[in-house]
């Protein structure tokens, strides 16, 4: 008697049993992955090559989950607006600082969608909620953190660069780790102004801008696509979470991971929003590994006056237009 060939779903469940011990989690993963797999397999067969026809509400959106990043948020948003980001889907993981006040002008202007997202270890859940909720609203979706700045190097904007990858499911970009520049304490000024020294080479880890309709799931660093589809690096070679090719002459992600020691301590105490959900080491072991200051680089210097001016203008326009009942928090200490 000829044995019946197992369906893809049955094969997936068998594989899940080998690696996931919790029955409830295993069933949830299997159900979600299988249903999404078939939905997106149909998409690949019928729609993927016609994405440029649109229309989409946005061309490029950013997804981020964050907690207590208020002092950096205005700069992060204004910088990315300058390089072509249309809208930010910000998942707020129980912030207790002035995040809501800082975001208020951007929400009113339509630049930010603010989504309260409580709980621990919520990065994966938030990322995939955004994938399902907003996949039909934007041509491209970038997943980054509040300490990461996407830097287009060979074009003026990120959308200009993405035009060369319009037939790909995603573009992965290498981190470039930035150090403390000798700063021990938080000081006034922008992040891109205070920290200009970075590692000698790009990091092997990458962040990804995806075609959200081509992915059935999103991990921290990469999208999960059907079959053999994968995001590419700037050279057009398929990659996933990391790559030893270290190609970062077209586009990269400046990663201001620790900043000064005082800011690292603030980061450590508030804990992570990611899958591990734990506090960072109390000693300087991880900080020292990532505190890279080998090369001075002023590639973002030209944005400093523009970002500062736009932060002030955005806040003033909001106060004049909305006349809020309560004062809007200042977006951190910004020197002229």
With a cut of 60, say whether residue 262 has pLDDT above it.
yes
Q: What is the DSSP letter of 84?
A: T
Mean pLDDT of 48-70: 85
Residues above pLDDT 70, as percent of the chain: 76
Spatial separation of the C-alpha atoms in residues 77 and 53, rounded to whole Å: 28
Please indicate whether residue 264 or residue 164 has the higher confidence score (pLDDT).
Answer: 164
Q: Which CATH number fits domain 54-322: 4.10.860, 3.40.630, 3.40.50, 3.90.550?
A: 3.90.550
Provide the pLDDT for residue 156. Answer: 97
> pLDDT tens for residues 87-101?
999 999 999 999 999
Mean pLDDT of 104-120: 97
Q: What is the DSSP letter of 205?
A: B
Q: Are 165 and 238 in contact (CB under 8 A)?
A: no
In sign, the C-alpha dihedral spanning 286, 65, 247, 227 is positive
Provide the pLDDT for residue 212. Answer: 95
* Distance linking the first and last C-alpha atoms of the chain: 81
In sign, the C-alpha dihedral spanning 133, 139, 143, 148 is negative
Q: What are the tokens at 93?
A: 């993981």
> pLDDT tens for residues 143-177?
999 999 999 999 999 999 999 999 999 999 999 99
Q: What are the tokens at 274?
A: 């990611």
Mean pLDDT of 74-83: 99
Q: What are the tokens at 264?
A: 């690292």
Provide the pLDDT for residue 22. Answer: 54
Spatial separation of the C-alpha atoms in residues 196 and 301, rounded to whole Å: 9
Q: What are the tokens at 108?
A: 């009113």
Please indicate whether residue 225 or residue 190 has the higher confidence score (pLDDT).
Answer: 190
Q: Are 231 and 214 in contact (CB under 8 A)?
A: no
Spatial separation of the C-alpha atoms in residues 76 and 88, rounded to whole Å: 10
Spatial separation of the C-alpha atoms in residues 52 and 200, rounded to whole Å: 38
CA dihedral of 63, 68, 74, 77, whole degrees rounded to 10: -10
| From 8-17, 93-102, 262-271, the region with the lowest mean pLDDT | 8-17
DSSP H or E stretch at residue 29: helix 23-46
Q: Comparing C-alpha atoms, which of 161, 150, 192, 187 is closest to residue 63?
A: 150
In sign, the C-alpha dihedral spanning 229, 232, 238, 241 is negative
User: pLDDT-derived band of residue 264, with 50, 70 and 90 as boundaries?
Assistant: confident
Q: Comparing C-alpha atoms, which of 216, 183, 201, 221 is closest to residue 297?
A: 201
Domain boundaries, the chain: 54-322
Mean pLDDT of 50-72: 88
Tell the residue number behind the tokens 């990461």, with chain if given. 148
Q: Are 130 and 63 in contact (CB under 8 A)?
A: yes
With a cut of 80, say whether residue 117 has pLDDT above it.
yes
Q: What is the DSSP track for 87-134?
A: EEEEEE-S--SSHHHHHHHHHHHTSEEEEE--SSS-HHHHHHHHHHHH
Cβ-proximal residues to 249 (8 Å cutoff; 6+ apart), any chain: 153, 154, 234
Q: What are the tokens at 261?
A: 């020691």
User: pLDDT-derived band of residue 244, with 50, 70 and 90 as boundaries?
Assistant: confident
């Amino acid at each position: 008697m000829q044995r019946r060939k197992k369906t893809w779903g049955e094969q997936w469940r068998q594989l899940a049993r080998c690696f996931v011990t919790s029955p409830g989690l295993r069933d949830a993963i299997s159900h979600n992955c299988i249903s999404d797999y078939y939905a997106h397999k149909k998409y690949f067969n019928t729609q993927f090559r016609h994405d440029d026809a649109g229309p989409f509400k946005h061309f490029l959106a950013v997804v981020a989950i964050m907690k207590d990043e208020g002092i950096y948020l205005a700069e992060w948003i204004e910088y990315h607006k300058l390089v072509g980001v249309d809208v930010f889907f910000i998942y707020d993981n129980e912030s207790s600082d002035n995040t809501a006040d800082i975001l208020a002008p951007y929400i009113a202007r339509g630049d930010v969608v603010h989504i309260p997202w409580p709980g621990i270890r919520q990065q994966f859940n938030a990322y995939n909620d955004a994938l399902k909720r907003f996949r039909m609203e934007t041509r491209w979706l970038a997943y980054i953190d509040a300490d990461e700045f996407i830097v287009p190097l060979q074009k003026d904007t990120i959308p200009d660069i993405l035009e060369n990858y319009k037939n790909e499911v995603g573009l992965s970009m290498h981190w470039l780790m930035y150090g403390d520049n000798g700063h021990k304490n938080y000081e006034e000024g922008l992040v891109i102004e205070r920290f200009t020294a970075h590692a000698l080479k790009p990091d092997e880890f990458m962040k990804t801008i995806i075609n959200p309709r081509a992915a059935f799931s999103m991990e921290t660093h990469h999208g999960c696509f059907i079959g053999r589809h994968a995001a590419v690096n700037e050279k057009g070679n398929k990659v996933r979470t990391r790559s030893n090719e270290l190609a970062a002459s077209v586009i990269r992600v400046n990663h201001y991971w620790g900043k000064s020691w005082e800011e690292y301590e603030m980061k450590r105490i508030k804990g992570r929003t990611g899958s591990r959900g734990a506090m960072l080491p109390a000693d300087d072991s991880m900080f020292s590994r990532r505190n890279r200051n080998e090369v001075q680089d002023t590639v973002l210097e030209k944005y400093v006056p523009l970002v500062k001016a736009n932060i002030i203008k955005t806040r003033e326009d909001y106060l004049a237009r909305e006349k809020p009942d309560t004062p809007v928090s200042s977006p951190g200490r910004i020197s002229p």
